[in-house]
Structure formats: structure tokens, C-alpha cells
Structure 1
Amino acid sequence: MNTTVDRLPAQQQPSPLSSRLPLSQAQPAVRAARHHAAKVLTGWGIDTAVIDDALVVISELITNAILHTRNGPAELQLRIQSQQLVIEVTDSCTDSVNSTVPRDDSDDDHGRGLAIVNALACAFGCQRLPGGKTVWAQMALQTQSV
């Protein structure tokens, strides 16, 4: 797992496959994001196993944004870049994501979201922005055979 903090994945050129979904506290943000992502990724022809993992990552990132931001998540962005799916959640919380992933044997009921993202993504990180941040994850488009 490659974790990078305070840097978004470099985008060489605009991807023809990209999608943005504004989210608000007034709507069920996690459900809306999962529904949108499933529809978009299916339309792009992404493998079902990759979609399933991406929906878990999206759920964790949106949930973290809701828990740590008074105004809720601001936006979900999906794009294909360099043969990878890039998931970005932008919110208005100025705190950076702690890059420390909790131990798997923790008895705490909370704090496992980034460990789940860490397990499913090729890389993830956080980019601070004026008035907020973007937390991102990159996922391989091909499922790994065991």
C-alpha cells in the first residue's frame, strides 16, 4: 500500500471519463454517492468486483466527511486516470486526514475507515485546500487474481 499525504494524484490531461456529484447534509449523502457511483462505474464498463470495492471506499470517505465536517461532504469526484479509478471526496473541514492507519486488532468501534480504504486502494491521501480538503483513493481497474 502506498499512502501519500497532502498531494492529489497528478492528472496528466483531463480524463474523458469523469463524474462529479455535489452532496449536502440535507440528503442521505452516503446512499446518494453509492447510487451515483454504481451507475457511473457500470456505465464506464468497470469490473463488478472493482465497483464493489470502490463503493466501500466511497462509503468510508463520505462517512468520514460527514462525521468530521459540520457542513457535510461537498463533492464526490470519480475519474479514470492512468488505468486507475481515482475517487475524491472534497469537504469543508480544514483538518488533514491522519495518515496513520489503525491496527486491525483495535477494539474501538470507530476509526477503521482508513484501514479499510488502505486495504482496498492502491494509494490514498489528502490534499489541503483553502477552506477544506480533498481525500482521495486510487484503485486498480483490474481485479487481482489470487
Structure 2
Amino acid sequence: MAGRLQDAFHFPALNTSVAAARKRVLAQLRAWGIDEVACDEAQLVVSELFTNAVRHTDSANVSCQLRVLGAHLRIEVGDQGRTPTEPRARCSGADEESGRGLLLVGALSQAWGVRAGDSGRGRVVWADLAAGRLSP
């Protein structure tokens, strides 16, 4: 793949924005010719990261950046919130409704992590996925 493909967007930190983010990611990745398996995995990762930012921070907006370079897709979801703990994968009990999102992100991604937000407030959770390309 020649060049670097990237897109960035933000939505209000509302539950309804999770579906809007998934839809935006799917449309962009399809436009770039990313295969359906990679599109499905990316939507799932964005859904989990967006949901965490909406539920666990005091953000007004949640941002997302997609970058494709070679065979890799980097997804970054940023919040503006201040929370005392860093996002981390945890084991949830069988009767718990939530708490498995970052385990899923870890299973689907080649690597993931957390860094401070660019503005000095909040954080960015990133995940690197394989970006299979459709044949031209």
C-alpha cells in the first residue's frame, strides 16, 4: 500500500455515539479497501474503547483516530476525563454484565496500550490490528 491512510473524528460522550463511531469506522475502512474480517474486528475494538470512554470518564467528547500503514491499523480513542486509575484488562465474574471489553481488545489486537492525552488531560487508548486489504 502506497502512502498512509488516516482519519480522525470525535463525537459527544454519549451512549448513542458508540454506534455512530462503529458506523464511521466501517465506512472509512471499506473506502480504504480493508477486508471484512478486519472491518469487523476494528468495529468491535472501537465499540469497546468508545464505551469505556463514555462510561468511565467525565469527557464531553470522545475522539477516534484511524491510521493504516502497511498491513497494520492503529486505532486510538481519546477521552478528556480524569479518572484515578488507568484502563486495564480484568477478569469479571460469570454473573457480571461488563468488565471484559479490554480482554476482547487484547484478544483482537496485536498490541494495545494507554498514553496521556495530547492536551495533557485525559488519555488515549490505542490498539494495533492486522489490516487485511482486498485485492485491487
TM-score interval (norm. to shorter): 0.7 to 0.9
Deviations 1:60-114 (A, max 9, x none): 0000000012225421110112420000001012345333x22376442221010
Deviations 1:125-146 (A, max 9, x none): 0001311110000001239xxx
1:53 aligned to 2:47? no
Structure 2 CA distance for aligned equivalents of residues 108 and 27 of structure 1: 20
Q: Which residue of 2 aligns with 1:3?
A: none
Q: What residue ranges of structure 2 are gaps of 5+ in the alignment?
A: none
* 3-state SS of 1:23 partner: strand
Q: Which gives a bigger RCO, structure 1 or 2 (Cα 8 Å, sep 6+)?
A: 1
Conservation of the 8 A alpha-carbon contact between 1:65 and 1:72: no
TM-score by length of structure 1 reads 0.78
Q: Which residue of 1 aligns with 2:77?
A: 89
Structure 2 CA distance for aligned equivalents of residues 120 and 26 of structure 1: 25
Pairing partner for 1:23 from 11, 21, 40: 11
Conservation of the 8 A alpha-carbon contact between 2:74 and 2:129: yes
Conservation of the 8 A alpha-carbon contact between 2:76 and 2:124: yes
Task: Figure out how many residues of one structure are paired with residues of the other and give that number.
Answer: 128
Task: Name the aligned partner's letter for residue 31 of structure 2.
Answer: G
Structure 1 CA distance for aligned equivalents of residues 96 and 79 of structure 2: 25
C-alpha RMSD over aligned residues: 2.2
Larger displacement relative to structure 2 (87-96 or 22-31): 22-31
Deviation at 1:16, TM superposition (A): 2.9
Pairing partner for 1:70 from 43, 53, 58: 58
Q: What residue ranges of structure 1 are gaps of 5+ in the alignment?
A: 1-14
Deviation at 1:23, TM superposition (A): 1.0
Pairing partner for 1:131 from 121, 132, 135: 121
